[in-house]
């Protein structure tokens, strides 16, 4: 889906041309003075965040209530007491959402694939029992220990993705409430295998959430949702999503970071409702305004479009029904969520959780436990330039050998790493000022500029989330390589 850049992104992209013109000609004293641009003058992807209903339960989990309330594959977005009219409107919203997904299910952005999730565990034999004997994944026989980084690292194949499990002093845990969504063709067989090794593993819980979905919690507390299949996920097996909790007011900024810094397709909204104007009808004329990229799909209604200026209404408890002033009001309470497309059928899903407390650098840092994900991007050099702020050093505080200090080093390694997701937090967990839309998510994502992890450029950004990203180019020797027994090992 092609998005039209916002005014802020346009100003940022024009900064280079303006500087060149100034160097070749004297300044015009009669020209009006201009304020400093809201965005730093370094490369950005001109991509806007889409909006609508996010991660509907038919696709993946609605885990906002934590592990005990996964309700995977279930749940309703309708009002509990709205009567026949409300139910009919809910069905129409669902039909519109399904049509939107069908139109865009094969669209990807600059991020074209999640390759692996890396976790450390104190005992590789326990990991083998869970990932190999339990989930039924094959330890990759196509790599030697030196290729994997040593004999203390094992790679488990799952479709076109992998789990990289390394021996460490302590287990690395995803934040409480996180869910790793995997697709396996025979969920019942996976349940039988996990039950068989349950006595050896000890603290492993198995729960059928609903139908063909199994919840399995490993001995270290990491939750895996095993699905027989998922809509729009290609292949019979693979890693489909990673859902993570985030601080209230950060979902939009996180999405803006991935959209503007990595060129990923992103979408924000709530899972339990859709806005009253979503997204086919105009809201105060905004959808038809300059910057909207809606197109006619032959139905007489505007296609889903990302707009530079939009505003979610206040939290339902404090909002007037229907909203006002060009706001898109969400009719039912639900946590704000951000979806980041990582490739065909793959997503990062961030869910705001009030129980995490108020946003602070320390709270964000405490959610992160050192694990990492590996992504492939199509536009490698531009991603490097967009992620790295000129005033910050590359992030090399990791145990791996691919350290770098400039783009030449990254090109030689065919990858680079960063961890901080910075940007502008919204005033509340369910609202964003249209005036701030162009400024959200303008962080660098590289190493922290201050000791507390805050921004070094004085832009007003702050640390929103922390994940260690291993960003690879398509020239990486492991890109699209054949994986042995990629579908299932123990069949």
Kindly state the average pLDDT of the residues 207-217.
80
Q: Average of pLDDT values for 231-237?
A: 88
Of residues 252, 279, 288, the one with CA closest to residue 4:
288
Between 445 and 471, the higher pLDDT residue: 471
Backbone φ and ψ of 244, nearest 5°: -130, 145
Is residue 30 over pLDDT 80? no
- pLDDT grade, residue 56 (50/70/90)? low
* pLDDT of res. 183: 94
- Is residue 398's pLDDT more than 70? yes
pLDDT of residue 427: 58
Please report the DSSP string for 184-237 in residue order.
-S-HHHHHHHHHHHHHHH-S-EEEEEETTEEEEE-TTS-EEEEES--TT--SSS
Torsion sign over Cα 441, 263, 238, 396: negative
Sign for the pseudo-dihedral over CA of 30, 31, 34, 37 = negative
DSSP 401-413: S---SSHHHHHHH
Is 21 a member of any domain? Answer: no
In a domain, 326, yes or no: no
Q: Which two tokens stand for residue 418?
A: 């960063």
Q: Which domain holds residue 149?
A: 89-183+231-271+335-425+461-490
| Number of structural domains in the chain | 1
Which tokens sit at 293?
A: 């990229």
Angle between helices 251-262 and 380-387 (to 10 degrees): 130
> Is the residue at 298 inside a domain?
no
Q: What are phi and psi of 276, to 5 degrees?
A: -60, -25
In whole angstroms, give the CA distance from residue 425 to residue 443.
Answer: 11
Taking only the tens place, the pLDDT of each residue in 249-289 is 999 999 999 999 999 999 998 865 433 332 322 222 232 23
Residues 6+ apart with CB under 8 A from 256: 49, 266, 423, 424, 440, 441, 442
pLDDT range class, residue 486, cuts 50, 70, 90: low
Give the count of beta carbons closer than 10 Å to the beta carbon of residue 329: 22
Three-state DSSP class for residue 483:
coil
- The alpha carbon dihedral of 320, 322, 327, 329 has a sign of positive
Q: Distance (Å, rounded) from C-alpha 154 to C-alpha 141?
A: 10
Give the integer Cα–Cα distance in Å for 215 and 179.
Answer: 9
Does some domain include residue 452?
no
3-class state of residue 115 by DSSP? strand
Mean pLDDT of 152-160: 93
CB neighbour list of residue 268: distance below 8 Å, 6 or more residues apart? 49, 50, 51, 54, 251, 252, 255, 336, 337, 338, 339
Cross-strand bridge partners of residue 415: 472
Q: Which pLDDT does position 262 carry in this prediction?
A: 95
Q: Is 480 inside any structural domain?
A: yes
Domain-embedded: residue 157? yes
Any domain includes 264 = yes
pTM above 0.85, yes or no: no
Contact in structure between 119 and 175 (CB atoms under 8 Å)? no
Structure tokens given for 174: 């995803």
Q: Buried b vs exposed e over 110-145: b needs ≥16 C-beta within 10 Å? A: bbbbbbbbbbbbeeeebbbbbbbbbbbbbbbeebee
What is the band of 92 on the pLDDT scale with cuts at 50, 70, 90?
confident
How far, in Å, CA of 451 to CA of 455, rounded? 10
Residues 310-367 have pLDDT tens digits of 233 333 333 333 333 333 334 444 788 999 999 999 999 999 999 999 999 999 999 9
- Matching residue, tokens 């350290």: 403
* Residue 143 domain flag: yes
Quote the pLDDT of residue 75: 34
* Closest CA relative to residue 190, chosen from 176, 178, 202, 207: 207
Tens-place pLDDT, residues 410-419: 999 999 999 9
Distance CA 69, CA 264 (A): 29
């Amino acid at each position: 889906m092609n998005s039209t850049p916002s005014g802020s992104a346009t100003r940022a992209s024009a900064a280079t041309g303006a500087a060149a013109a100034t160097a070749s000609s004297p300044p015009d004293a009669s020209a009006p003075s201009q304020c400093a641009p809201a965005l730093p003058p370094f490369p950005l992807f001109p991509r806007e965040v889409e909006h609508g209903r996010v991660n509907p339960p038919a696709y993946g989990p609605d885990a906002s209530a934590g592990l005990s309330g996964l309700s995977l594959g279930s749940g309703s977005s309708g009002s509990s007491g709205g009567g026949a009219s409300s139910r009919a409107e809910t069905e129409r919203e669902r039909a519109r959402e399904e049509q939107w997904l069908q139109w865009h299910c094969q669209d990807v952005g600059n991020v074209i694939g999640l390759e692996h999730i890396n976790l450390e565990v104190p005992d590789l034999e326990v990991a083998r029992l869970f990932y190999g004997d339990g989930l039924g994944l094959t330890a990759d026989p196509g790599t030697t220990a030196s290729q994997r980084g040593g004999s203390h690292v094992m790679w488990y194949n799952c479709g076109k993705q992998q789990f990289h499990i390394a021996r460490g002093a302590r287990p690395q845990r995803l934040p409480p409430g996180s869910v790793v969504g995997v697709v396996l063709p025979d969920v019942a067989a996976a349940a039988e295998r996990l039950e068989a090794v349950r006595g050896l593993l000890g603290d492993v819980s198995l729960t059928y959430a609903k139908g063909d979905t199994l919840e399995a919690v490993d001995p270290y507390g990491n939750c895996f949702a095993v699905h027989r299949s998922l809509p729009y996920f290609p292949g019979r097996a693979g890693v489909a999503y990673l859902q993570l909790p985030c601080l209230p007011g950060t979902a939009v900024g996180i999405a803006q970071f991935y959209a503007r810094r990595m060129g990923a397709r992103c979408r924000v909204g709530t899972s339990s409702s859709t806005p009253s104007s979503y997204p086919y009808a105009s809201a105060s004329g905004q959808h038809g305004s300059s910057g909207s990229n809606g197109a006619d799909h032959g139905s007489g209604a505007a296609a889903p479009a990302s707009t530079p200026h939009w505003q979610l209404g206040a939290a339902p408890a404090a909002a007037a029904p229907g909203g006002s002033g060009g706001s898109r009001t969400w009719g039912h309470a639900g946590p704000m969520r951000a979806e980041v497309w990582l490739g065909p059928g793959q997503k990062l899903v961030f869910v705001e959780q009030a129980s995490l407390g108020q946003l602070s650098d320390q709270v964000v840092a405490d959610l992160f436990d050192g694990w990492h994900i590996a992504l492939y991007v199509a536009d490698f050099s531009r991603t490097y330039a967009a992620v790295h702020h000129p005033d910050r050093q590359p992030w090399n505080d990791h145990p791996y050998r691919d350290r770098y200090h400039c783009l030449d080093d990254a090109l030689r390694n065919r990858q680079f790493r960063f961890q901080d997701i910075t940007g502008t937090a919204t005033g509340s967990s369910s609202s964003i000022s249209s005036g701030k839309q162009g400024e959200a998510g303008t962080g660098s994502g590289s190493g922290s500029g201050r000791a507390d992890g805050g921004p070094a450029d004085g832009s007003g950004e702050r640390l929103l989330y922390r994940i260690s990203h291993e960003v690879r180019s398509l020239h990486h020797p492991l890109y699209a390589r054949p994986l042995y027994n990629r579908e299932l090992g123990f069949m």
